[in-house]
Structure 1
Amino acid sequence: MTTFVDRVELHVAAGNGGHGCASVHREKFKPLGGPDGGNGGRGGDVILVVDQSVTTLLDYHHSPHRKATNGKPGEGGNRSGKDGTDLILPVPDGTVVLDKQGNVLADLIGQGTTYIAAQGGRGGLGNAALASARRKAPGFALLGEPGHAGDVVLELKTVADVALVGYPSAGKSSLISVLSAAKPKIADYPFTTLVPNLGVVTAGSTVYTIADVPGLIPGASQGKGLGLEFLRHVERCSVLVHVLDTAALESERDPLTDLDVIEAELAQYGGLDDRPRVVVLNKVDIPDGQDLADIIRPELEARGYQVLEVSAVAHLGLKELSFALAQIVAEARAAKPQEEATRIVIRPKAVDDAGFKVVAEEGFYRVLGEKPERWVRQTDFANDEAVGYLADRLARLGVEEELMKAGAHSGDEVVIGPVDDAVVFDWEPSLATGAEMLGRRGEDHRFDAPRPAAQRRRERDVERDEAEEEYDAFKPF
């Protein structure tokens, strides 16, 4: 049964936003109650949060599909819908979030670090929020936006100061068990360790973490053995410790060759050339092991390695090893640049940035941009007034002007949105905002010019009569 998982593909879906409500206030002796439709609630987000009590991605291996709740629709009486509940997914410290193409989206290090893997959709506005001086009783509301849905890849890279590397059965698990309180599985056959083990070591005033990386053999960086699965766990370490078996029973192996093979695999994996190395000659309590250690130590020191002789079984040289590693870790921490305080960076929008662009494609014109695409998603195309409201918003944004500049003519096909989620319509340019064509209530472009007081009073009377007619139209039979 799988107990440790350090790479999963997670299918996340945020909650959809609730629809806005189109409602008119009805109360005895209040014939002109006006619109009172509430807004829809926001959809819940899917949020990854670092939790140091979590050490594996096993839960997401068994249940890779995760979805947040939807927002509730708005209601009459100016009652807004309830927001969807955010879905909090705890992940281990050192989790890297990638997309399907392998691009890094977030590197989650430190307790409480968060990343929004999928953002919930906005709730639609009710007709009360859409009312204005010219549109006093909107007969429509905006739809809620769908929440983001997609796939992310989670990779766990162990956050450790020291990484023990070496051939299977070199004594890495035994060494970590005597240096710390970790209790890994130990046996006299290869590939005993199937998961990285993590322990905490205290040496004087320095406390550091140590991890053993299992399964490194020739060809590990190309997928042989278990090495490729766990080489990522040495990326964050401050020092690499080569554990060499000086009492290897195989006649065709020797510690110097083992060291060269492991170094070649680390070089093939890449990104570890700057890490200091320490060589630990293990099992010197055995007479043949001590003799071999005396033979190869001068060669290792000539290569520039710091060499320590230990025996995990007999507890020889462990204190010297722990303090030597503590000194290297302390120096690495001191050399690490201090993290700067969080700064708020304000990037104002360029003065010539319209927020959208018009692209001429074969046979049609495509409008791309966050605002027009969001407005299309929130429009109820079964309601003519809602369509008119969309047309007015697009005109005010300058979409019509850009279409004309791009060479569009009346009757040309215009597409708003990406290929997989687009709205297609035949474009009919208009000089005004389209009140007559789209039937929007309470507006006439001729009212924009200055008018005498008597004319304004007559217009108010007309608006009052129109509002009463609208109320009668909304009254139940």
Structure 2
Amino acid sequence: MATFVDRVVLYAAGGDGGHGCASIHREKFKPLAGPDGGNGGNGGSVILQVDPQVTTLLEFHHLPHRHAPSGTQGMGDHRAGSTGADLVLGVPDGTVVKSTDGEVLADLVGTGAQFVVAAGGRGGLGNAALASPRRKAPGFALLGEPGEQLDVVLELKTIADVALVGYPSAGKSSLVAAISAARPKIADYPFTTLIPNLGVVQAGSARYTVADVPGLIPGASQGKGLGLEFLRHIERCAVLVHVLDCATLEPDRDPISDLDVIEAELAHYAGDLGIEGGRVPLDQRPRIVVLNKIDVPEARDLAELVKPELEARGMKVFEISTASHEGLRPLTFALAELVEKARRDAPVPEATRVVLRPKAVDDAGFTVTRRESGGAVWFAVRGEKPERWVRQTDFSNDEAVGYLADRLARLGIEERLFATGAVAGDEVRIGPDHNSVVFDWEPTMLTGSELLGGPRGTDVRIEERTRPTRGEKRIEYKERMDAKALAREELWTEREQGHWADPADDA
């Protein structure tokens, strides 16, 4: 079973908002004392928060689906529904939140850093909150909004000051064990290290952390071996240490060629330059070369041979032996000096500023677009307010639908439809293409709520009726005229037969 997980996909869903309540207060001597329906409670949100006690994403590997509690429905007597509690998920320090497309959404660094993955839905208003001088006793309430649903990728990027890179079995784990109290797995076969190891080094008054990542091989930046999976753990490191094996038994390898291969892989790895500590490419960071295993005579001779060439490239070179601890003390102090310099040069974190972005005066908050596909024409309405109002409307209640029509008219959607070229009977869609509310537009819906005369829950403007065409009106007019002529002819026939007489004739 895996004990270290540094990349998972989280399926988060915020809690749904509770529905509002439509209720009328009743008591003795007050049979209709007005609306008293309470509002629904808001749904809980899914929040990621850095927890120093969490070091891996293993919990999300076993339980990737997380859902926050929903709010409850409002009740009568002005009782509001309860609010769903936020679901706070602990993540390790250095977790990067990405969308499924690879866009960086948040970089969680520092204990307590938070990011709202999926916000909870709003609770619906009860009919007590919807009452007005014209609509004194609404027979409907607003529905609660569904919570947001979002799939995100969580990647753990280890936070360390120094990163050890090199070929497998170059002695990186042995070096971490020799200069710190960490005890990683050490063996005489490649890819012994399968997970990053961290060690804390004390060099005089300086203290810094060292990360040991799995060995790199040619093609690691394109996913070969284990390099691509763990190169992200050195993105935040300020100093890179090339650990070169001077006692390798492979005939086609030497310290110079190993260094060139690793440098090429670091240059090809792009990573996320927008995260904290990752704004400088890996091949442009301070680097130190360590020639390891000089306790072997042949390795010491090779190290002395290649050291001048490496120094000619402008790199600091240290000859060490993790077995005999030779040369470790100068190395630890040199690393401490580079780390202290990087910390001094790091920009001072600025206090978070509250940025106000007021909307433009002419920003209506929605758009109306004319679309055409397959010979059919419709008008798409998009905007935060109209889409939210549609989600909160109970379409089985005519009065609620009429209230929605009034809100849309006051927002200016009717005028915008006229300006866009819509006519009565055109198809209008509110919301995204995959989940929109479709209806045939009738401009007569502009009528205000003062004409509401039916019982609660009904709207006289919403009835099953069709608008007659011009041809139907012409036929109806001709039929009415023919009926009048026929009635007039029957009256004259009865008069001539003496069934009734005109008093003027008798005079």
TM-score, normalisation: structure 1: 0.90
* TM-superposition CA deviations, 1:208-230 (whole Å, max 9, x none): 11101213011111211111111
Residues 1:380 and 1:33: Cα distance change in structure 2 (over 3 Å): same
1:378 aligns with 2:378: no
CA positional deviation for 1:78: 0.7
Show the counterpart of 1:66: 66
1:106 matched to which residue of 2? 106
Give matches, 1:254-403, under 5 Å.
Answer: 254-270=254-270, 271-362=281-372, 363-403=377-417
C-alpha deviation, 1:441, in angstroms: 8.3
- 1:272-326 deviations in whole A, cap 9, x for unaligned? 1320110011111222221111111101100111111111121122221111111
| Residue 20 of structure 1: aligned partner | 20
Which residue pairs with 2:459 in the alignment? none
For 1:225 and 1:325, locate their aligned partners in 2 and report how far apart those are by CA, in whole Å. Answer: 28
Q: Is 1:428–2:442 an aligned residue pair?
A: yes
* Structure 2 Cα separation of the partners of residues 38 and 179 of structure 1: 65
Q: Tell me the secondary structure at the aligned position of residue 284 of structure 2.
A: coil
Q: Distance in 2 between matches of 1:258 and 1:434?
A: 80
Aligned to 2:422: 408
Q: How does 1:88-127 map to 2 (within 5 A)?
A: 88-127=88-127
Q: Name the structure, 1 or 2, with higher relative contact order (CA <8 Å, separation 6+).
A: 1
User: For each residue in 1:193-238, what CA deviation from the matched residue of structure 2 results, as whole angstroms up to 9, or x when unmatched?
Assistant: 0011111122222221110121301111121111111111111110
User: Which residues in structure 2 correspond to 1:235-246 (within 5 Å)?
Assistant: 235-246=235-246
Cα deviations across residues 227-254 of structure 1 (Å, max 9, x unaligned)?
A: 1111111111101100011111222211
Q: Which moved more, 1:198-207 or 1:339-348?
A: 198-207
Q: Which position in structure 2 is the counterpart of 1:452?
A: none
Question: CA-to-partner distance for each residue in 1:409-467, whole Å, 9 max, x for gaps?
Answer: 0111111000122111111113844336765889xxxxxxxxxxxxxxxxxxxxxxxxx
Structure 1 position 340, deviation (Å)? 1.2
Could you tell me how far apart the structure 2 residues matched to 1:13 and 1:431 are?
A: 36
Report the secondary structure of 2:154's partner residue.
strand
Q: For residue 159 of structure 1, what is the aligned residue in structure 2? A: 159
5+ residue gaps in structure 2? 271-280, 457-507
Paired amino acid for 2:421: G
Contact 1:56 1:92 in 2 (8 A): yes
2:489 alignment partner in structure 1: none
Return the alpha-carbon distance in structure 1 between the equivalents of residues 142 and 229 of structure 2: 49
Could you say which residue in structure 1 is the equivalent of 2:496? none
Q: 1:174 to 1:145 in 2, by over 3 A?
A: same
| 1:249 corresponds to 2:249 | yes
**Separation in 2, partners of 1:317, 1:133:** 87
Q: Deviations over 1:308-359 (max 9, x none)?
A: 1111121122221111111101111111111111111111110010000001
Three-state SS of the structure 2 residue aligned to 1:430 is: helix
* 1:447 aligned partner: none
The residue matched to 1:107 in structure 2 has which SS?
Answer: strand
8 Å CA contact 1:388–1:440 kept in 2: the answer is: no
Distance 1:171 1:439 in 2: 87
Paired residue type of 1:403: L
Contact 1:203–1:323 (CA under 8 A) maintained in structure 2: yes
TM superposition score normalised by structure 2? 0.85
* Matched residue, 1:49: 49
Give the aligned residue type for 1:176: V
Q: Please state how far the C-alpha of 1:383 moved relative to its aligned partner.
A: 0.8
Aligned partners of 2:53 and 2:330: how far apart in 1? 31
Q: Secondary structure at the match of 1:298?
A: helix
Distance, in Å, in 1 between the alignment partners of 2:359 and 2:102 is 30
Q: How many residues align?
A: 442
2:267 match: secondary structure: helix
Determine if contact 2:169/2:215 at 8 Å carries over to the other structure. Answer: no
Runs (4+) off by over 4 Å: 436-442
Mean CA deviation greater in 367-376 or 30-39:
30-39
Question: Unpaired segments of 5 or more residues in structure 1?
Answer: 443-477
Aligned partner of 1:134 in structure 2 is 134
1:430 aligned partner, one-letter code: T
Out of 119-128 and 55-64, give the one that drifted further: 55-64
After TM superposition, list the pairs within 5 Å mapping 1:181-200 onto structure 2: 181-200=181-200
1:4 matched to 2:14? The reply is: no
Q: Aligned partners of 1:188, 1:431: CA distance in 2, in Å?
A: 81
CA distance, structure 1, for counterparts of residue 251 and residue 240 of structure 2: 26
Q: Specify the SS of the correspondent of 2:290.
A: strand
- Contact 1:94-1:156 within 8 A present in 2 as well: yes
How many angstroms apart in 2 are the aligned matches of 1:203 and 1:441? 83
Alpha-carbon distance in 1 for matches of 2:146, 2:411: 23
* SS of residue in 2 equivalent to 1:78: coil
Distance 1:94 1:254 in 2: 35
Q: 1:361 to 1:231 in 2, by over 3 A?
A: same
What CA distance in whole angstroms lies between the structure 1 residues aligned with 2:28 and 2:289? Answer: 89
CA distance in 2: counterparts of 1:189 and 1:440, whole angstroms: 85
**Residues 25 and 77 in structure 1, CA contact (< 8 A), matched pair in contact too:** yes
CA-based RMSD: 1.5
Kept after mapping to 2: 8 A contact 1:389/1:440: no
The aligned runs of 1:20-39 (5 Å cut-off) are 20-39=20-39
What amino acid maps onto 2:27 in structure 1? E
Task: Mark the CA change 1:72 to 1:16 in structure 2 (over 3 Å): closer, same or farther.
Answer: same
State the shift of 1:29 in Å. Answer: 2.1
Do 2:405 and 2:446's aligned partners in 1 also have CA atoms closer than 8 Å? no
